[in-house]
Amino acid sequence: MRPSAPAPVRILAGLVALLFPLPCLLLMEYMNYGGQLEQLHSFFEKHPGSALFACLTIYLLYSILVLLFGRVWPSALLLGLGSVICAYVNYTKAALNGDNFYPQDLGMLSQTGDLTSFLSGGQPLWFWPGAALLLILVLLLFAAGTRLSLSPFPRWSAAALLVLAVNLSVSTPQRVQDLLGRFGMSAFDSALQSSNYSANGFVGAFMLNLLNMDVHPPAGYSEQAIQALLEEFPAVPADPDVPLYDVVVVLSESFFDPRSLPGVTFSQNPLSNYDRLLEDSNCQSGMLYTTAVGGGTVRPEFAILTGLTTDYLPNVTTPYWYVQQEVSSYVSHYKQAGYTTLALHPYDKKFYSREGAYPLLGFDAFYGQEEIGSLAEITWKRNYISDHTTAQAIQALADNAQQPVFLFAITMENHQPYGALDPSNISIQVDAPALSQESLTALTTYTQGLYDADQMLGELASWVDSRERPTVLVFFGDHLPTLRANHLAYNESGFVNTLDGFSQEELDKLYSTPFLIYSNRDLAPGLLTSQSGNQISDYNLLNTVVRSTGMGRTCYMELLFQFFQTAPYYNIRLQLPETQEIARFTQAMGLITYDRLLGKNWSGNY
């Protein structure tokens, strides 16, 4: 310590230096539980093993920093700053789309500017006072000059030994399992992240995910196992009497029917085209079940395009990180059938690692915000390229294609945040007595964008009707919109009750969005059993299009069809009961997902 520091300051600084990791831990866990002190207390009371693991983890990190720097204040500054950032990101991410902060999210630091444009809303009451307290404690340590009296070599040697000891203790899956078991934790906790972060706290859950980042081959993974599995489901050749359809797939950002919110009314129908098409005999419709709510477009997108699912991968912000080789997908299936395969997204092509992944999925070309101006005149809504522009670009690409075209488009206009609009930009008034003013504002802004999405749907349907080429339009929402943090507008309206945990019915509502399939020709039923009211998982949506248009089907598509026959929709976030028959298919999907993304792609020939 500095000789000039008074004795009381030195004593206080010593105590602060010893205890500094604790307020860091408390701040992160306070934010992990949404600022609810009762839940924070319950975590420490009911999960002492996880709490002890978190405490030891943060003290270990703090000790290594002190040994490296030799001074306490820079170590405390780094730990405190990291704690504040982790607490903020974890809370904000969970509030917006129900996902916590995962280790893999660190790989998206280069896209921070894009991500922050989506943020809105405030923080729990004690977050900023807690952050200020950490800053004050760091300043006290700086003033006192608290430091170790060791020379660099023994300090750095001790730090290296600590790092080596930690590495050895987690060097194999069995050692990881043994270590976690001592604290009453398990690697299986990461199967459902909401339970993981609830039972193990932020630090414990984050570390558990970090320790399980490596994806190991599923039990029994081999070429013979893949072959035996898929040969149970013989491939089906294409119908030679059916022409090749142009297929246009539109992922409409946050497309959802807000009329399902109890007590909410609108001055005019925001979904008139959607309603009209549902009554058309050439339209099939229903609810699409995905793995996203409020955000995380890339997860249902990945499932739609590949027929795979993220259920069997470590939780990541984008599954495209795992796309490092050519992946057999619906896209590649269309390409092999002679289609031109195109992707369109009026945003940064690098976002979510799409630019690198799309060619490996089988896309011939990918048009982003830099190229869309060559396809259509650009108009803007709330700082995003409008749905009308995207619709015009879709038509230009499809009409100029010489071969049959498979075109996948993602819209951006109705993306969050849903801040207040100028009154002159509000054409549909929303009345919702149960909603707070902030929630009503978010819903009103969302509704204006939803109306534009519906106009886009009507424009594309009219275009499909006008075409001579057989054309099928697939239009769906990726997830429910983020109507305030922690699903607040949904809770206020009575759509769900977020305070008592979600029932099965509520989970079904949160993880489902509308879809429709419309064509200028009569379509075969495909997987769907009726014109409306169908239920289907995202990974099977294009499977029904393939079947209804007479295309050839792979063994894996036939496997998914049989899964649909057993359970029309299923994913781990829905927390549906896993019967023995369902388990047969989920294990098969896990095997194929690993094989195509991280394994030898033996299933690519099936």
| Max Cα-Cα span within the chain | 93
Distance from C-alpha of 23 to C-alpha of 60, rounded to nearest angstrom: 15
- The token pair at 280 is 């058309």
Nearest to 415, CA basis, from 346, 487, 507: 346
- N- to C-terminal Cα distance for the chain? 69
- Residue 504 confidence (pLDDT): 92
Residue 5's pLDDT band (boundaries 50, 70, 90)? low
> Other C-beta atoms within 10 Å of 235: how many?
15
CA distances (Å), origin 245, targets 228, 304, 369:
33, 18, 27
Per-residue pLDDT at 144 exceeds 90 = no
> Other C-beta atoms within 10 Å of 382: how many?
18
Per-residue pLDDT at 425 exceeds 80 = yes
Least confident of 213-222, 270-279, 310-319, 374-383: 310-319
Segment 538-560, tens digit of pLDDT: 999 999 999 999 999 999 999 99
Asked if 376 and 389 touch (Cβ cutoff 8 Å), the reply is yes
> Other C-beta atoms within 10 Å of 119: how many?
14
Nearest to 329, CA basis, from 289, 297, 360, 364: 360
- Residue 210 confidence (pLDDT): 86
Q: Which amino acid is at 260?
A: S
Asked if 257 and 537 touch (Cβ cutoff 8 Å), the reply is no
- The token pair at 289 is 């079940």
Angle at which helices 541-548 and 298-306 cross, to 10°: 30
- Residue 544 confidence (pLDDT): 98
- Residue 174 confidence (pLDDT): 81
Per-residue pLDDT at 51 exceeds 80 = yes
Element (H, E) at 287: strand 283-289
Mean pLDDT within 153-167 = 90
Segment 125-141, tens digit of pLDDT: 899 999 999 999 999 88
Residue 4's pLDDT band (boundaries 50, 70, 90)? low
- Residue 380 confidence (pLDDT): 96
Considering 137-141, 153-157, 250-254, the range whose residues carry the highest mean pLDDT is 250-254
Above pLDDT 90, what percent of the chain? 68
Element (H, E) at 342: strand 340-344
Q: DSSP for 95-131, please give it.
A: HHHS----GGGGGGGGGHHHHHTT------TTHHHHH
- Residue 118 confidence (pLDDT): 53
- Report the DSSP pairing between strands 265-266 and 430-431: antiparallel
Mean pLDDT within 480-485 = 86
Per-residue pLDDT at 230 exceeds 90 = yes
- Residue 170 confidence (pLDDT): 86
Distance from C-alpha of 421 to C-alpha of 433, rounded to nearest angstrom: 20
Averaged confidence pLDDT in the chain:
90
Asked if 118 and 417 touch (Cβ cutoff 8 Å), the reply is yes
Asked if 478 and 253 touch (Cβ cutoff 8 Å), the reply is yes
Mean pLDDT within 514-525 = 95
- Residue 438 confidence (pLDDT): 93
Nearest to 481, CA basis, from 426, 432, 416, 419: 416
Asked if 66 and 75 touch (Cβ cutoff 8 Å), the reply is yes
Any residues with CB less than 8 A from the CB of 456 and at least 6 apart, and which? Answer: 250, 252, 387, 388, 390, 391, 411
* 286 or 97: which leads in pLDDT: 286
- Residue 590 confidence (pLDDT): 92
* 502 or 337: which leads in pLDDT: 337
Number of DSSP helices (H) and strands (E) in the chain, helices first: 22, 12
Distance from C-alpha of 20 to C-alpha of 8, rounded to nearest angstrom: 18
Asked if 397 and 371 touch (Cβ cutoff 8 Å), the reply is no
- Residue 279 confidence (pLDDT): 95
Distance from C-alpha of 10 to C-alpha of 284, rounded to nearest angstrom: 74
Mean pLDDT within 414-442 = 94
Please list the helix, strand and coil fractions of the chain in percent, rounded to the nearest 5, in that order.
55, 10, 35
Per-residue pLDDT at 1 exceeds 70 = no
- Residue 101 confidence (pLDDT): 85
Quote the pTM value.
0.82
- The token pair at 506 is 């509520």
Nearest to 543, CA basis, from 290, 255, 308: 308
- How many residues make up the chain in this entry? 606
Asked if 541 and 570 touch (Cβ cutoff 8 Å), the reply is no
Least confident of 94-98, 126-130, 578-582, 586-590: 94-98
Least confident of 10-19, 32-41, 270-279, 303-312: 10-19
Distance from C-alpha of 263 to C-alpha of 488, rounded to nearest angstrom: 15
Per-residue pLDDT at 191 exceeds 60 = no
Asked if 315 and 189 touch (Cβ cutoff 8 Å), the reply is no
- Residue 109 confidence (pLDDT): 58
Distance from C-alpha of 440 to C-alpha of 450, rounded to nearest angstrom: 15
Please state the domain extents for the chain: 7-211, 225-605
Contacts 24+ apart (CB under 8 A), 158-162: 158/67, 159/64, 159/67, 159/68, 162/60, 162/63, 162/64, 162/67
CA 595 to chain centre: 22
Per-residue pLDDT at 121 exceeds 80 = no
The answer to whether domain 225-605 has CATH 3.40.720.10 is yes
Per-residue pLDDT at 3 exceeds 60 = no
Mean pLDDT within 179-184 = 88
Per-residue pLDDT at 6 exceeds 80 = no
- Residue 512 confidence (pLDDT): 97
Distance from C-alpha of 587 to C-alpha of 593, rounded to nearest angstrom: 10
Residue 97's pLDDT band (boundaries 50, 70, 90)? low
Per-residue pLDDT at 68 exceeds 60 = yes
Least confident of 48-62, 206-220, 320-334: 206-220
Least confident of 71-85, 108-122, 264-278, 474-488: 108-122
